[in-house]
Amino acid sequence: MTSADANRQALLGRTIEELVTWARRLDSHRRFPFGDLDVSRSQVEVLFLVAHSDPPMTPGRLAAELGVTPGAVTQLVAGLVAAGLVEQQRDEADARRRVLALTAGSRARVQSFELDVVRELAPRFADLDEAELETLAGLLARTSEGR
């Protein structure tokens, strides 16, 4: 291994350590919007993927995003539907497909939760200007894209 390769691996290690720290920090907030309901971590992830999906989220795309089977998505979604957090609708573009949408109450809870988390964590980003924040968001988006 060259020194350049070793340096790159060390930098990737530091980056992953920081991401793990952020994941822990963000995970500590996961129950706030749904504290009165028994919502699993996977179900919270589904809620946020559905909330930010454009175009609307389909069960098949959700399975691909989560890296799980369609059967697992069926179970996750069924629990969210039963809790009144998600509804399944016919796709306007293709009536044979279903799309997932947050219920009005769930959408309000997710939006409120996100605003609260942003407000709480904003001071940690105070030293970054808008260009740096844009770069950070873009780099994280690039690294989350599947290969």
Furthest-apart CA atoms within the chain: distance in Å: 56
* Separation CA 11–CA 17 (nearest Å): 10
Cα separation of 23 and 73, whole Å? 22
Query: What is the residue range of 12's domain?
Result: 1-30
From residue 126, alpha-carbon distances to 23, 35, 139 in Å are 19, 29, 19
Residues 36, 25 within the same domain: no
If asked whether residues 5 and 40 sit together in one domain, one would say no
What is the chain's Cα-based Rg?
18
Question: Is residue 20 domain-shared with residue 38, that is, in the same domain?
Answer: no
Confidence of residue 21 (pLDDT cuts 50, 70, 90): confident
Same domain, 42 and 61: yes
pLDDT tens sequence across 98-126? 999 999 989 998 898 888 888 988 999 99
